[in-house]
A and B are shown apart, each in its own frame.
Chain A
Amino acid sequence: MNDQTLFSIFFSAMVVNNFTLALFLGLCPFMGVSARVETALRMGLANIFVLVLTSLSAWVLNTYILENAPYLRIISFIIVVASLVQIVEMVVKKIAPVLFRQLGIFLPLMTTNCAIFGLAIFQTNRGYDFLQGIVFAIGAGLGLTLALVLMASIRETSELSDIPAIAKGTGLTLIIAGSLSLAFMGFAGLL
């Protein structure tokens, strides 16, 4: 069991140990879909949704099933994440087709998003209970969204500026990410 307060878990997951900028989780969408603010925001919201569901199911697995077989953890988590994404996709398509169209390709891609899988692993390693897990998931999701939107707005601006041809693309994105990560280090003293 972990006796951190809910607020410190939430705050730590959102800014101090931001999933993208401090732990390097979920970098693929961070590099891939951070070109437009609107897409970035949508991606972030989809992430929050799946993260919360993952946290729920990881907790159920840990509490009721994996107690006697911890060595099956990696395998069962990845199966659960993959099928969860599939189910969410089907349900959303049926119930809210508009939302489904808005999320588009991002939903299925979430299976191989390390942030989702990482959340399940971290939650287990730190021994969070049910409520702590949910709060952790929401915090992490908001942190991802924050990083994505920040990155997207910087990239939108930098597109118009005069940059040497060689620095365009990944190199520049990484260095912007580095500067963002430096800025987020400033939060480290808060907790």
Chain B
Amino acid sequence: MRATTPSQDFIRGIWKENPVLIQMLGLCPALAVTNTVKNALAMSAATFFVLTCSSVLISSVKNFIPKEVRISSYILVIATFVTLADMMLQAYAPVQHKELGAFIALIVVNCMILGRQEAFSSRNTVYRSLLDAVGTGIGFTIALIMMGGFREILGIGTFFDISLFGPNFEPWVVMVLPAGGFLMLGFIILGMGVYEQRKQAREAHGEAA
């Protein structure tokens, strides 16, 4: 068991080990459904729900799952919650459900969720697994909203359907197309690289002085 405090469990997933931007997990949904903020939000909400519920359930029954079949058991639990999320979205947000389409079902194969179960929930208490899942879920949401926000602002010129630039804005249509997803994530990751490099340079400089 790792010696981390509960608050570290929570904060880690948000930025330092952000599932999408640092660990590169769960890229499918992060690229496919982030052409608008609304879709990104619906997707993160569904993923958040599935992740939190499965983490809590799996950490509470972890002692009853034989080691040999643990992966299949995790996938079954996740698939059950995905079915629930699918039905709930269909009932309460039918428009978003239609927009996201098959990608709701594809939450099952989101490696981020299975990764959290294998790496954390299967060997930690319910409380800490909950914190970890919520933190990771928030990190995922931040990454998706960032992607969705940038792509919607540049590609359509709106944010949450509110027009930002007036009627004369010429949208970068490519940003809402699939290619834009790859490019945007690439630029965000490059930007983070530059930021990290500067921070390290500053720290090194501070130590020298």
Interface residues of A (CB under 8 A from B): 21-25, 27-28, 31, 71-75, 78-79, 82, 112-114, 117-118, 121-122, 125, 166-167, 170-175, 177-179, 181-182, 185
The answer to the question of B57 belonging to the interface, with a C-beta cut-off of 8 Å to chain A, is no
Decide if A175 touches B182 in the complex (CB within 8 Å).
yes
Q: A166-B194, A171-B193 are in contact. Are A79 and B76 (CB under 8 A)?
A: yes
Q: Mark B157-198, 1 if CB is under 8 A from A, else 0.
A: 000000000000000001001111111011101100110010
Q: Which residues of chain B are within 8 angstroms of A24 by Cβ–Cβ distance?
A: 27-28, 31-32, 178, 181
Could you show 14 A-B contacts with beta carbons less than 8 Å apart?
Answer: A27-B28, A72-B83, A78-B76, A112-B111, A114-B28, A114-B110, A117-B108, A117-B109, A125-B101, A173-B186, A174-B185, A175-B183, A177-B182, A178-B186
The answer to the question of B46 belonging to the interface, with a C-beta cut-off of 8 Å to chain A, is no
Chain B interface category by residue count: 35 or more
Rounded to whole angstroms, the CA-CA distance of A22 and B178 in the bound complex is 5
Q: Which residues of chain A are within 8 angstroms of B180 by Cβ–Cβ distance?
A: 178
Partner of B27, one of A27, A118, A125, A182: A27
Give the secondary structure class of B's interface. Answer: helix
Rounded to whole angstroms, the CA-CA distance of A170 and B32 in the bound complex is 18
Q: Which residues of chain A are within 8 angstroms of B80 by Cβ–Cβ distance?
A: 75
Rounded to whole angstroms, the CA-CA distance of A75 and B109 in the bound complex is 11
Rounded to whole angstroms, the CA-CA distance of A32 and B130 in the bound complex is 30
Q: Which residues of chain B are within 8 angstroms of A122 by Cβ–Cβ distance?
A: 102
The answer to the question of B79 belonging to the interface, with a C-beta cut-off of 8 Å to chain A, is yes
Smallest beta-carbon distance B45→chain A, Å: 18
Decide if A31 touches B24 in the complex (CB within 8 Å).
yes
Decide if A167 touches B75 in the complex (CB within 8 Å).
no
Rounded to whole angstroms, the CA-CA distance of A25 and B32 in the bound complex is 9
Q: Considering only CB atoms, which chain A residue lies closest to B33 in the complex? A: A24
The answer to the question of B4 belonging to the interface, with a C-beta cut-off of 8 Å to chain A, is no
Partner of A71, one of B87, B114, B177, B181: B87
Q: Which residues of chain A are within 8 angstroms of B178 by Cβ–Cβ distance?
A: 21-24, 181, 185
Rounded to whole angstroms, the CA-CA distance of A72 and B108 in the bound complex is 13
Decide if B183 touches A74 in the complex (CB within 8 Å).
no
Give the secondary structure class of A's interface. Answer: helix
The answer to the question of B105 belonging to the interface, with a C-beta cut-off of 8 Å to chain A, is yes
Q: Which residues of chain A are within 8 angstroms of B193 by Cβ–Cβ distance?
A: 166-167, 171
Partner of A74, one of B28, B79, B179, B190: B79
Rounded to whole angstroms, the CA-CA distance of A118 and B102 in the bound complex is 7
Q: Mark B37-78, 1 if CB is under 8 A from A, else 0.
A: 000000000000000000000000000000000001001100
Q: Considering only CB atoms, which chain B residue lies closest to A25 in the complex? A: B28
Q: Which residues of chain A are within 8 angstroms of B76 by Cβ–Cβ distance?
A: 75, 78-79
Decide if B114 touches A112 in the complex (CB within 8 Å).
yes
Q: Which residues of chain A are within 8 angstroms of B183 by Cβ–Cβ distance?
A: 174-175, 178
Rounded to whole angstroms, the CA-CA distance of A156 and B185 in the bound complex is 22
Decide if A171 touches B28 in the complex (CB within 8 Å).
no
Rounded to whole angstroms, the CA-CA distance of A177 and B187 in the bound complex is 12
Q: Which residues of chain A are within 8 angstroms of B75 by Cβ–Cβ distance?
A: 78-79, 82
